[in-house]
Amino acid sequence: MSTTKPMPSEAAATEIPAVPLTIEGYSVLHQMMRFRWTSWRALDDATRRNIVGEAVPVLKGMEQNAKGQSVFYSLIGHKGDLMFIHFRASFDELNHAELQLAQLRLSEYWEPTTSYLSIIELGLYESTTKVYKTLVDRGIEPHSDEWKREIEHTLERQKEAMRPRLFPSIPPSRYACFYPMDRRRGEEKNWYTLPIEERARQMNEHGLVGRRYAGEVRQIITGSIGFDDWEWGVDLFADEPLVFKKLIYEMRFDQVSAVYALFGQFYVGLRCPADQLGTLLSGELPEFTK
């Protein structure tokens, strides 16, 4: 009795792994703080100046660190007063940044409201399907040692090509918007049960919207699966905050957002350069120049 063997392309469609490849860059920590204004105002002017004078050079050094910056923002609304964003080469260095801030006398006047731990991530959906199918067509068994070597070489090449996006400076924009998000995993709609080709199609469509806003807003995506309560974090940076509303609203009409996206709390803040800390803590808006 004869049997019909599947064509290589058919085998690839059924055998390729479901998980897309990713490349990672800076480790990222967001810290949201509430400031104890009543206690701060109770201090005399000289004490406040001394505390600010101690904090400014430390914050400025973190802000100008060429191997991963820290910048902070004055938050708008009730969710907190300050937001620190730290980019570092490792989680160890993020922890060191936390400890640096904790040593400041100024830290006696703030208390954490929340935080978010993640790592800059670029998803390689289009490259993934091409690479997986090529390897399967060559007869390489998924997850074998040879498969892992080929994948590692692919990731190394992609990481080198994408280095500026994986290890960026924090954009010098006036406003920042941060929010966490998930992909839906419910009984009726589950992102993770879709074929990888369909997920790639939807993500490509989603990305086309963002590219239309190039020059107006800078977006940095971080992965947080296994690190925090949501699956991804999104940072948007712009000089005009209205663009956050327009971009996010337009993206929600994409299938990937309309059907599969869940969003956490949003945080919007104005950037405060380190040398403007005293101005901010005196109750005035800090001056901002790029």
pLDDT tens digits along 57-82: 999 999 999 999 999 999 999 999 99
> Within this chain, do residues 75 and 143 fall inside the same structural domain, yes or no?
no
Our count of domains for the chain comes to 2
Predicted confidence at residue 72, as pLDDT, reads 96
Q: Do the domain assignments include residue 92?
A: yes
Predicted confidence at residue 91, as pLDDT, reads 98
Q: With a cut of 60, say whether residue 12 has pLDDT above it.
A: no
Catalytic annotation present for 179: yes
Q: Do the domain assignments include residue 225?
A: no
Q: Do the domain assignments include residue 78?
A: yes
Tokens describing residue 208: 């086309």
pLDDT tens digits along 181-233: 998 877 678 888 888 888 888 888 888 877 888 889 999 999 999 999 999 99
Predicted confidence at residue 6, as pLDDT, reads 42
Q: Do the domain assignments include residue 101?
A: yes
Residue 65: C-alpha distances to residues 69, 99, 178 (Å): 5, 16, 22
Q: With a cut of 80, say whether residue 161 has pLDDT above it.
A: yes
Predicted confidence at residue 207, as pLDDT, reads 81
d(CA 249, CA 242): 11
Q: Do the domain assignments include residue 45?
A: yes
List Cβ neighbours of 166 (8 Å cut-off, separation of 6 or more).
23, 24, 25, 26, 120, 122, 159
Q: With a cut of 90, say whether residue 289 has pLDDT above it.
A: no
Q: Do the domain assignments include residue 65?
A: yes
Spatial contact of 181 and 230, defined as CB atoms under 8 Å apart:
yes
Q: With a cut of 70, say whether residue 98 has pLDDT above it.
A: yes
| Domain C-terminal end among 89, 120, 151 | 120
> Within this chain, do residues 131 and 114 fall inside the same structural domain, yes or no?
no
35-54 mean pLDDT: 98
> Within this chain, do residues 29 and 106 fall inside the same structural domain, yes or no?
yes
List Cβ neighbours of 83 (8 Å cut-off, separation of 6 or more).
30, 31, 32, 33, 72, 73, 75, 176, 178, 267, 269
- Residue type present at position 98: E
d(CA 266, CA 268): 7
165-181 mean pLDDT: 97
Q: Which residue is catalytic, options 109, 125, 179, 260?
A: 179
Per cent of the chain over pLDDT 70 is 94
Full domain range(s) for residue 105: 25-120
Q: Do the domain assignments include residue 208?
A: no
Predicted confidence at residue 154, as pLDDT, reads 94
Q: With a cut of 70, say whether residue 11 has pLDDT above it.
A: no
Predicted confidence at residue 188, as pLDDT, reads 79
Predicted confidence at residue 1, as pLDDT, reads 44
We report the CATH number of the domain holding residue 113 as 3.30.70.1030
Q: With a cut of 90, say whether residue 290 has pLDDT above it.
A: no
CA–centroid distance for 218 within its chain = 11
pLDDT tens digits along 226-267: 999 999 999 999 999 999 999 999 988 888 888 888 999 999
Which of 6-10, 85-89, 213-217 has the largest mean confidence? 85-89
> Within this chain, do residues 76 and 99 fall inside the same structural domain, yes or no?
yes
Q: With a cut of 80, say whether residue 7 has pLDDT above it.
A: no
Q: With a cut of 80, say whether residue 149 has pLDDT above it.
A: yes
d(CA 71, CA 50): 21
